[in-house]
Amino acid sequence: MEEQEKSAQNFLTFRLGDEKFAANLDKALNILEMLPITKVPQSPEYMKGVINRRGEIIPIIDIRMKFGMEPIVVSKRTVIIIFRVEIQGETADVGAMVDEPGTVIEVSEADITPPPSIGAKYKSELVKGMLKVDNDFIMLLEIDKVFSLDELVEINQNKETAERGK
């Protein structure tokens, strides 16, 4: 049973801008239609705020900005994908705004290639590999890294040291 799972894995695809990305289906918790987002003041721009998912508060990230794209513009197709990720060794549910949900695809192990090391458009640590689907390549994201707090922690530490300097 496990062997089967290994030879073919399920991925959830979605679109950011004009590009297609994929994440391990295991990582996804569910997909939500756009909900009103409460902005949290004094937080980085890519942290869009929080939403109420059935009584649970989930932070929402504009992952487009993580990939250096323009901030997301909410459309009829915009959805929130909730991922269960590991942040600093702890699990957390985080929502990602994506331009359009894709579909669930099954890709066999053989069609997963490592990310191109040269000429990569995005930070290689965010890309886990490339999925070959019908002669098309979909970038497989390392979801944990995408939501990693490193950046945020750095920012805050810098701020603190700056304040300390005073």
Partner 1 sequence: MDNFRLKFIEEATDLINALENSLLSLEINNQNSDLINEIFRIMHSLKGGGAMFGFETISEFTHNMENIYDEIRNKKAKITQELLSITLSSVDHLRNLLDDNLASTPEVISNNKILSERLIKEINKTDKSQKFDEKTEPQNEKDSLSEIKKGETYYIFFKPNAEIFANGTNPLFLVDELNSIGKTLIFARTHEIPELDNFDPTRCYTYWEIFLQTESGLNAIEDVFMFVEDDSMTEITKIGDGTFLNDIKFTSMIEELNIADDSHFDAAQIKVFAESLSTVVDKNTNDLSVKDKINKFTKEAVISGIRVASEKIDQYMNLVSELVTTQAAFKLVSEKSGNAELIELAENFEHISNQLRDNVLSMSLIPIENTVVRFKRLVRDLSVEFNKNIIFITEGTETEIDKTLAQALTDPLMHILRNSIDHGIETIEERMKLGKPAQGKIIFKAYYSGSRVFIEVEDDGQGIDTDKVRKKAIEKGFIDSATQLTEKEALNIIFLPGFSTADKVTDISGRGVGMDVLKRKIADIRGEIEISSPRGKGTKIIIKLPLTLSILEGLLVIINDTPYIIPLSSIYRIVEQKIDDLKKSYNNIVAINGIQYPFYLLREELEMPGDYPEEVQFIIVKYEHTHIGLVFDKIEGEYQVVLKPLGKMYRNHEIISGASILGNGTIALILDTNKVIDKFSNKAFV
Partner 2 sequence: MGNYIDFIIYLIVLLGSIPLVRMLLLLFFKKSVLKNIGFIFYLIIVFAAILGRISANTGTVHLLWQAPLTAVLLTAAFIYVDRINLAPVRRVKHELDKIKTGDFSESNKFVFSRQSTQTEIAEMYEAMQEMKTKIGSVLSEISELSASIFQTGEDISKEAQNITHLAKEQSASISEVYLAIKEVANLIAENTDKADKAEKIAKKSTVKIEVSNKNVKKAMDSLQDIAKKVNVIGEISFRTKILSLNADIEAAKAGENGKGFQVVAAEIRKLSEHSRAASEVVEKISQESINMALRTGRIAEQVVPDIKETSDLVKEIYSGNKEQNVQAELIKSSVHLIDNTSHKFTDLSLIMSDKTAYLSDFSTKMMNEISFFSFISQQNLTDNSENIIQNPLSFSPKSIYITVSHYLKSNSFKMIKNNELKTKTNG
Residues that bind partner 2 (CB under 8 A): 1, 10, 12, 25-26, 28-33, 76-77, 79, 101, 103-104
Q: Does 63 bind partner 1 (CB under 8 A)?
A: no
Q: Does 147 bind partner 1 (CB under 8 A)?
A: yes
103 binds, among partner 1, partner 2, none (CB under 5 to 8 A by kind): partner 2
Rounded (to 5) percent helix, strand, coil in the chain: 25, 45, 30
**What's the chain's length in residues?**
166
Q: Does 81 bind partner 1 (CB under 8 A)?
A: no
The least distance separating partner 1 from the CB of residue 138, rounded to whole angstroms, comes to 26
33 binds, among partner 1, partner 2, none (CB under 5 to 8 A by kind): partner 2
Centroid of chain to Cα 42: 22
Q: Does 164 bind partner 1 (CB under 8 A)?
A: yes
On the 0-12 / 13-18 / 19+ scale of CB atoms within 10 A, 166 is exposed
How far apart are alpha carbons 118 and 108 in whole angstroms? 24
